[in-house]
Amino acid sequence: MIMDIKTLLTDYLNYLEIERNRSPKTRENYEHYLKEFMAFSKAKSAGDITEDAIRNFRLNLARRDLKKITQNYYVIALRNFLKYLAKRDIKSVAPDKIELPKTPSRQIAIIEYGDLERLLEAPTRLAEASAKAGGNTLRALRDKAILETLFSTGLRISELCALSRYIDIARGELSVRGKGDKLRIVFLSDRAKKAIKNYLDKRTDADEALFVSLTKGTSDKRHATSVIGRIIPRAVQRLVNYYARKAGIAEHITPHQLRHQFATDLLLNGADIRSVQSLLGHSNISTTQIYTHITNKELREVHKSFHGRRRK
């Protein structure tokens, strides 16, 4: 009996979620990539997936001017689907027939340390101004705590938004569930611990989220700032960019860039790459190695300082 492609796709997506323990977001992405291929190739069964169909689909992706890394996502999803079919002894194209396109190595941009310090201090200046005007400082205290936590821990934005307020601030350790449902430990700096304590001391609500969304309050107590639930990633993105502009930084700054700053700061100060890999929650060391092009800049100064001294 030949199973139709829609049934096989549903089975595969269920396999990803249940047996491979992939996140709902991963399932959603794979479904999108594979359905695009099915629609393009008009495949009705596994046997309709041919090398020619795959080649034409990849040509279509390239002509759509998609980034190489985005094209890779489609190809990886298709290759993994074919691996699943092979595992079930369902005849189709052999997965090893599909080669991934070469992509240029990722380059990470970081901001200067002085710019970073101004960014982290920007909410403090806002809090001071708000207090002098008789306003509510909870928002500025929250934002300060968010920025310091991002730089202190290197958390992904989704991980930050999922944090609980019931943490041992004095100990400064957070247990985080990251990609692939993997647990890891991250650590709070003294500055982050102080910022979180100041923020939580100001909170009067019982919401279990560490970082919450707030209404726009005024100095009028009848319209004071109030909590309206857990903060969402988009709000964190907006506040990071807002304070970057307040700090006079021309570049567009994102929460993920603070994760980059965290990693490069550790490496520049002598941390070994395996430790940084663990702190970031990277499954593969090659993902962490994208930061080495930045730290390698230090080698120029080493060469300049120590090479050829006896020739002078």
Q: Does residue 61 surpass a pLDDT of 50?
A: yes
Residue 293 designated active-site:
no
Cite the beta strand spans of the chain per DSSP E: 173-177, 183-187, 212-214, 227-230
Overall size of the chain counted in residues: 312
CA dist list (Å): 151 to 127, 142, 172, 264, 283: 20, 14, 14, 11, 21
pLDDT in the model for residue 110:
78
Catalytic residue among 83, 165, 179, 202: 179
Under the banding of pLDDT at 50, 70 and 90, the label for residue 222 is: very low
Interval 106-133 mean pLDDT: 82
Q: Predicted confidence band at 269 (pLDDT cuts at 50, 70, 90)?
A: confident
CATH architecture designation of domain 5-97: Orthogonal Bundle (1.10)
Active site residue 234: no
Write out the two tokens for 126: 């806002």
To the query of whether residue 230 is one of the catalytic residues in this protein, the response is no
288 pLDDT band, cuts 50/70/90, is confident
Tell me the average pLDDT of the chain.
Answer: 86
Of these residues, 156, 193, 199, 260, which one is catalytic? 156
Active site annotation includes 179: yes
Say if residue 302's pLDDT is above 70: no
Tokens 């090479």, located at residue: 307
pLDDT in tens, 75-118: 999 999 999 999 999 999 999 989 877 666 566 777 888 999 99
Among the listed residues 58, 118, 142, 259, the single catalytic one is 259
* Lowest-pLDDT choice from 10-14, 162-166, 303-307: 303-307
- Whole-model pTM? 0.69
Q: Is position 274 annotated as part of the catalytic site?
A: no
Instruction: Report phi then psi at 78, rounded to 5.
Output: -65, -40
Residue 161, exposed/middle/buried by CB under 10 A (0-12, 13-18, 19+)? Answer: buried
Give CA–CA dist 69/72, Å, rounded. 5
Is 259 labeled as catalytic in the residue annotation? Answer: yes
User: Does the structure show a pLDDT above 60 at 194?
Assistant: yes
In angstroms, the CA 285 to CA 268 distance is 17
CATH 1.10.443.10 in the chain, residues? 113-254
* Catalytic residue chosen out of the listed positions 33, 74, 199, 291: 291
Please state, in angstroms and as integers, the Cα–Cα distance from residue 253 to each residue in 136, 179, 245, 276, 297, following that order. Answer: 26, 23, 9, 22, 22
Where in 79-226 does DSSP place strands (E)? Answer: 173-177, 183-187, 212-214
CATH of domain 113-254: 1.10.443.10
Q: How many helices (H) and strands (E) does the chain have?
A: 14, 4
CA distances from 171 to 62, 194, 280 (A): 51, 12, 20
Q: What pLDDT is recorded for position 270? A: 84
Which residue intervals of the chain bear CATH 1.10.150.130?
5-97
Higher pLDDT, 286 or 245: 245
Contact present, 193 and 170 (Cβ < 8 Å): yes
